[in-house]
Amino acid sequence: MAETFGIAGRLDGQRVLLTGATGFVGEALLHLLLSEVPGCHVTLLVRARGSQPAEQRVRALVGKPIFADVVEAAGGLDALLAARLRVIEGDLAVTPPLPDDLDAVVHCAGDVSFDPPVDEGFRTNVVGTRELLARVREIGPDVHYVHISTAYVAGRRRGTIPEAPVEHAVDLEAELAWGLAQREVVEHRSRGTEVLVRERKKAEKEHSRAGMLTAAAATEEARRAWVKEELVRVGTERARSLGWTDCYTFTKALGERVVEAHAAEGHVVSVVRPSIIESALVKPYPGWIEGFKMAEPLILAYGRGELPEFPSSADTIVDIVPVDHVVAAIVGVLAFPPERGEPAFFHVSSGDRNPLTFSVLYDVVRGYFDDHPFAATDRGAVRLPEWRFPGPHSVERLLTTSERAYKVADYVLGRAPRGDRTRELARKLDQQGRRLEFLRRYLDLYREYAQAELRFSDQHTLALYRSLSPDDQERFAFDTAVVDWPHYLGEVHCPAVTAPIRRLDEVRAARRKAGPVGLKTLPQRDVAPSTGPTGVAAFFDMDGTLLSSNVIETYLWMRLRELSGTERFAELSRIAARVPSLVRAERRERSAFLRSIYREYAGARLADLEAVADAELTDHVLARLAPAAVRRIREHRAAGHRTVLITGAIRPLTRPLAPLFDHVEAAELAVDSRGVCTGFLEASPLVGESRSAWMHAWARDNGIDMAKSFGYADSHSDLPLLAAVGNPVAVRPDVSLYRHAKKARWPIVDWASPPATARSLNPAGDRA
């Protein structure tokens, strides 16, 4: 394999098709070809993304900073595209015809997720490869096909792995047919009673207060999530049953079988197998990386103090290779095609000749964060965990114990009274839950790799490198034995992967320093569209949103004013005894809870209730009204919006607030012919989904555009109200609504009542 003309000379005038150019490796490879192989013409097979055509994606790609020198040398982006780049729009699943002037094809595209849904893994890594090769065969047998695989196609083997086909007896066609059929199978299973009953009961338990349709939507969302998780699980289990770590390595190994069959037909084939690809050592610049790869989430989690242990032995090799070494090796392989029908295999790895152990990785990363810690969080300065490498079983026990503790805390918090402290506890618990979810996913995913006892022989790759001239060895460096791990990890890689996180931390710190972000000020008048609904409305809940009150409290405002001291104590004791059952009723179904409270008004005269509200409760209600809420209502009115109060409270209690609203929709107490309350309502109370239905009907009757309208509420039972408008706002929400609002990125505000407000249950005072 003697070097004759040099890599650039051998590839001069060559036309190379590249797939996966928008990915990490593909982008680095394209940069190297354009910058170091000036006579090479590159064709890119790129699929459109949404409304963005392939050529536009390529222009955005080559417009990145790393290509600046190449673009400038070519005389501009258009000149570069005209002289050296050709774009074909298409998808590997249905590969379009390829130009017949190609000399080589480098297949970088593929599903690089370690845990893809099984059908997607087969479709990308097997079907995509087969479709591409079918098009390559249409050109002729002399096209050099370079297949980018992974060293981990070796699976769960141990010891030295040669640069050769992986030995296995798996029936490719049977596994392919099985893998592609799994989505239909799993979708069918997801609609069976075993899955649906479980998910429906969970959803109804969580969302019944909001309504059965809300629970049904949550059930369907959970079913779809189950389908995705199950497709990952069955793929992983099938892979491990056949000797691979996961669906990714399994389908990549079967993809190699497709490539080997292509070579056996007399074609020119090379297979390049990188190990774990990380940031660049030198080119295009030290630390260059796009996105998070395998090690980055773990490094960042450790630096945050969120990775207490790792399921590996201290002396296990972690096989890392810089991306510039990978693409330099690919170009070297591209320049020296093997004979027809004799596929060549190349490992681009480090573990055989320059091993990096988890112990060294840990020491370097810990040293880096000791010297360059992340900024202190609201929990204080980060304390770095001290790894002792106790083994995978001990790590699993630690994680399982933490998950159980989280479930207990979540159960208790879900039954705690609402308040600022409860929401803060929910925020911290949710953070802990996300950490545990992260740990579970990554420890399960990486456990196999962390325990792999593999040494990838790279003798073919080393021989290729040694055959190059000194000049090419410098320009296309891929001898991983030269990598100084403490330097690379501590001075190149860690600074590169933490830099964007540090910038984000600075932005977050600035936001915290500036204080909580309020709602955007509304314009004085909206410009209405020329067609369709032109109005905008603002819908407000009352108890807990505008007022720091609830229906039990407002009932006592009315009731205690007419009782003597002894009678008040008796009434308070009677209501207190009912509180546990009322709380359970409220959690099950809010309408039943409200009806049980309104039964207490039986025998009262409606006119008397209205008189009490006007004469004795107005000042108290207005004093309990949150000033920020009043300002927001006035902003809406100034903007020309219709203001609507929609509440389950009885109408007499809304009378003090009526001047603030254009419409008040409240619970109407039923009365007999004498005007005496019967203890029933004139109609079902507006709660949960009935509020949403009423809002849509009212909007149709009043020319309101719900997509532009606003909603303000505090309870999970008000989820349909908030979901009905285009601008929902959670006001001092309970834990369930708080979590939903955070997930949906809804604004969350705190409209507190004036601090001097008295929480008297008898605001009218003693009667003479």
Residue 438: pLDDT over 90:
no
Mean pLDDT value of segment 75-81 = 92
Which among 63-67, 522-526, 609-613 has the top mean pLDDT? 63-67
> Predicted confidence band at 764 (pLDDT cuts at 50, 70, 90)?
very low
Mean pLDDT value of segment 750-765 = 58
Instruction: Give the lowest-confidence range in 361-375, 435-449, 527-541.
Output: 527-541
What pLDDT score does 532 carry? 46
CB 677 within 8 A of CB 604: yes
Please give the biggest Cα pair distance in the chain: 113
| SS3 (DSSP) at 749 | strand
Long-range contacts of 197-202 (CB under 8 A, 24+ apart): 199/223, 199/226
Side chain identity, residue 393: H
CB 280 within 8 A of CB 28: yes
Give the residue extent of every domain in the chain. 7-180+242-509, 181-241, 537-749
Mean pLDDT value of segment 597-613 = 81
- How confident is the model over 672-681, as pLDDT tens digits? 999 998 988 8
Residue 618: pLDDT over 70:
yes
What pLDDT score does 395 carry? 77
Residue 768: pLDDT over 60:
no
H/E segment holding residue 296: helix 296-303
Q: Looking at the DSSP assignment, which residues form a beta bridge with residue 543?
A: 547
Q: How far apart are CA 556 and CA 576, in angstroms?
A: 11
* Closest alpha carbon to 179 in 95, 111, 225, 132: 111
What pLDDT score does 767 carry? 41
Mean pLDDT value of segment 416-431 = 72
Residue 577: pLDDT over 90:
no
Q: How far apart are CA 327 and CA 30, in angstroms?
A: 9
Q: Looking at the DSSP assignment, which residues form a beta bridge with residue 49?
A: 52
What percent of the chain clears pLDDT 70, i.e. is strictly above it? 87
Instruction: Give the lowest-confidence range in 102-116, 364-378, 470-484, 587-601.
Output: 587-601
What pLDDT score does 531 carry? 41
- How confident is the model over 136-187, as pLDDT tens digits? 999 999 999 999 999 999 998 889 999 999 999 999 999 999 999 999 999 9
DSSP string computed for 164-189: SPPP----HHHHHHHHHHHHHHHHHH
What pLDDT score does 636 carry? 93
Helix 392-414 with 420-450: angle, nearest 10 deg: 160
> Predicted confidence band at 549 (pLDDT cuts at 50, 70, 90)?
low
Domain 537-749 bears CATH identifier 3.40.50.1000: yes
Task: Provide the b/e sequence for 556-582 (b: ≥16 CB within 10 Å).
Answer: bbbbbbeeeeeebeebbeebeeeeeeb
> Predicted confidence band at 515 (pLDDT cuts at 50, 70, 90)?
low
Q: Looking at the DSSP assignment, which residues form a beta bridge with residue 346?
A: 272
What pLDDT score does 595 carry? 78
Q: How far apart are CA 6 and CA 476, in angstroms?
A: 11
For residue 111, the tally of other CB atoms under 10 A from its CB is 18
CB 477 within 8 A of CB 325: yes
What pLDDT score does 109 carry? 86
> Predicted confidence band at 553 (pLDDT cuts at 50, 70, 90)?
low
Which residues contact residue 613 at a Cβ distance below 8 angstroms, ignoring those fewer than 6 apart? 558, 621, 652, 653, 655, 656
- How confident is the model over 82-109, as pLDDT tens digits? 999 999 999 988 999 999 999 999 999 8
Mean pLDDT value of segment 566-590 = 56
What pLDDT score does 576 carry? 58
Q: Tell which phi-psi region holds residue 732, choosing left (phi > 0), alpha (psi between -120 and 50) or beta.
A: left
Residue 417: pLDDT over 60:
yes
What pLDDT score does 2 carry? 40
Phi, psi of 274 (to 5 degrees): -75, 160
- How confident is the model over 348-360, as pLDDT tens digits? 999 999 999 999 9
Question: In three state form, how does the secondary structure of 46-71 look?
Answer: ECCECCECHHHHHHHHHCCHHHHHHH
Q: How far apart are CA 619 and CA 616, in angstroms?
A: 7
Residue 383: pLDDT over 70:
yes
DSSP string computed for 612-660: HIIIIIHHHHHHHB-HHHHHHHHHHHHTTPEEEEEEEEEGGGGGGGGGG
Residue 558: pLDDT over 90:
no
What pLDDT score does 284 carry? 95
Residue 271: pLDDT over 50:
yes
Mean pLDDT of the chain: 86
> Predicted confidence band at 589 (pLDDT cuts at 50, 70, 90)?
low
Can 7-180+242-509 and 537-749 be said to share one CATH topology? yes
| SS3 (DSSP) at 587 | helix
Residue 65: pLDDT over 60:
yes
Which residues contact residue 616 at a Cβ distance below 8 angstroms, ignoring those fewer than 6 apart? 561, 763, 764
Residue 683: pLDDT over 90:
no
Helix 172-190 with 247-264: angle, nearest 10 deg: 150
Phi, psi of 750 (to 5 degrees): -120, 100
Q: Looking at the DSSP assignment, which residues form a beta bridge with residue 19?
A: 45, 107
* Closest alpha carbon to 637 in 761, 523, 559: 523
What is the DSSP code (8-state) at residue 716?
G
Kind of pairing, strands 748-749 and 727-731?
A: parallel
SS3 content of the chain, % helix, strand, coil (to 5): 55, 15, 35
pTM of the model: 0.81
Distances (CA, A) of 359 to 313, 387, 649: 8, 9, 64
Show the CA angle centred on residue 739, arms to residues 738 and 740, nearest 5°.
Answer: 95
Q: Tell which phi-psi region holds residue 290, choosing left (phi > 0), alpha (psi between -120 and 50) or beta.
A: beta
Mean pLDDT value of segment 479-490 = 96
CB 144 within 8 A of CB 270: yes
Residue 339: pLDDT over 50:
yes
> Predicted confidence band at 36 (pLDDT cuts at 50, 70, 90)?
very high
Look at 588 and 242; give whichever has higher pLDDT: 242
Residue 765: pLDDT over 50:
no
> Predicted confidence band at 761 (pLDDT cuts at 50, 70, 90)?
very low
Residue 524: pLDDT over 50:
yes
Which tokens hold the place of 23? 């990915």
Q: How far apart are CA 576 and CA 383, in angstroms?
A: 46
Residue 478: pLDDT over 80:
yes
Residue 423: pLDDT over 90:
no
CB 589 within 8 A of CB 209: yes
CB 364 within 8 A of CB 490: yes
- How confident is the model over 389-415, as pLDDT tens digits? 887 777 778 778 877 887 887 777 776
Look at 543 and 38; give whichever has higher pLDDT: 38
* Closest alpha carbon to 448 in 246, 276, 589: 246
Q: How far apart are CA 64 and CA 67, in angstroms?
A: 6
Assigned fold of 7-180+242-509: Rossmann fold (3.40.50)
- CA 275 to centroid of chain Cα atoms: 26
Which among 430-434, 626-630, 632-636 has the top mean pLDDT? 632-636
Q: Looking at the DSSP assignment, which residues form a beta bridge with residue 88?
A: 45
- How confident is the model over 234-259, as pLDDT tens digits? 999 999 999 999 999 999 999 999 99
| SS3 (DSSP) at 7 | helix
Phi, psi of 631 (to 5 degrees): -60, -40
Which tokens hold the place of 214? 């809300």
Question: In three state form, how does the secondary structure of 339-402 look?
Answer: CCCCCEEEEECCCCCCCCEHHHHHHHHHHHHHHCCCCCECCECCCCCCCCCCCHHHHHHHHHHH
In a 13 Å sphere around the CA of 156, the CA atoms on its Cβ side amount to 14
